[in-house]
Amino acid sequence: MDLAILLIYTVNDKIHMSAALQRIVNAVTPAGDGVSQPFDAGQLPNNVSQAIWRGTEVTQASQTVVASGFPSLDVQLPGGGWPCNALTELLQPQPSLCEWRLLAPALAGLVASGGQILLVGPPKRPHAPGLVKLGISANNLVWIAADNPAERLWCTEQLVKANPRGGAILAWLPQARAEQLRRLQVHAQACDCPVFIFRPQAAQLDASPAPLRVLASLGTDWELHVRILKRKGALLEGTIVLNSIPGTLESVFALRLMRPSQLIAKPEASHVSTLGSAVNRHRLRQLAAH
């Protein structure tokens, strides 16, 4: 028998709710025959069936989200994408590892509709020509070079309060404490754009007020291993494997470079002279020509 939890959002309509509960009870426990029927939310009145959340479910339709661009990741994220109106914590083993690989598909969509991408205190200089190739145009990029933790927090908070609708805020806050993040999270609830907070992997042991926490690391052969440490809904055991070749490399790679793990097995392949043959000849000629 399915376990259904009824969330009462509107308590005003008490008579309606009790009637609905009565119908659930009737539907779930048929009179004495012991045969369990699957619970069908469709039998309920519309407003009640929308308010029902099952313990096994992830998706909540009420939240606005930005599709991540990875279908296998979207399935596991509540609402089907990176959430707006909330903090999203992204943990990495080391900074500047896979931020753009993970986020560029989502950010490119935001930029295409005119949103601004606001970077607060990135660990390295962003390289605009590379980002343009990922679809993040130079006109929509703002780099706030805030160095110390207090400045970063202040800038992030100001931006979150300003609610840059249609854009995204990317903040690197490795030293932020839980109460500081909680403050940001409270402000982020009124912010209609995704807010990404980048933190080191070690922070996964600390409690965090962010409703979504994601740990991303590198796998073999251009894979990204993503673990969802915390989300609204059931805990996700296991790793999501995303296939993501850094955007600008995909077009120039020969087929065998799609699987670099096979190359690494051969030590002689690292030699410069032998490597030339591993390169797509046609592309190489183009590269050398300019």
CB 96 within 8 Å of CB 122: yes
Of 82 and 198, which CB lies nearer to another protein in the complex structure?
198
Binding site for another protein (CB under 8 A): 93-94, 96-101, 104, 116, 118, 122-134, 138-139, 141-146, 151, 154-155, 158-159, 161-165, 167, 218, 246, 248-249, 251-253, 257, 260, 263-264, 269-272, 275, 278-279, 286-288, 290
Q: Minimal distance in Å, beta carbon 207 to another protein? A: 27
Question: Residue 100 is inside which H or E element, if any?
Answer: helix 99-112
Of 133 and 232, which CB lies nearer to another protein in the complex structure?
133
Q: Minimal distance in Å, beta carbon 34 to another protein? A: 56
Write out the two tokens for 182.
């909680």
Distance between CA atoms of 218 and 241, rounded to whole angstroms?
Answer: 10
Q: Minimal distance in Å, beta carbon 41 to another protein? A: 34
Q: Kindly report the CA angle at 244 between 111 and 234, in degrees rounded to 5?
A: 85
Of 10 and 286, which CB lies nearer to another protein in the complex structure?
286
Q: Minimal distance in Å, beta carbon 143 to another protein? A: 5
Of 3 and 124, which CB lies nearer to another protein in the complex structure?
124
Q: Minimal distance in Å, beta carbon 174 to another protein? A: 16
Distance between CA atoms of 24 and 34, rounded to whole angstroms?
Answer: 16
Of 127 and 177, which CB lies nearer to another protein in the complex structure?
127
Q: Which of 15, 61, 63, 21 is closest to 39 using CA atoms?
A: 21
Of 6 and 128, which CB lies nearer to another protein in the complex structure?
128
Q: Minimal distance in Å, beta carbon 87 to another protein? A: 18
Distance between CA atoms of 289 and 285, rounded to whole angstroms?
Answer: 6
State which amino acid sits at residue 2: D
Distance between CA atoms of 183 and 191, rounded to whole angstroms?
Answer: 13
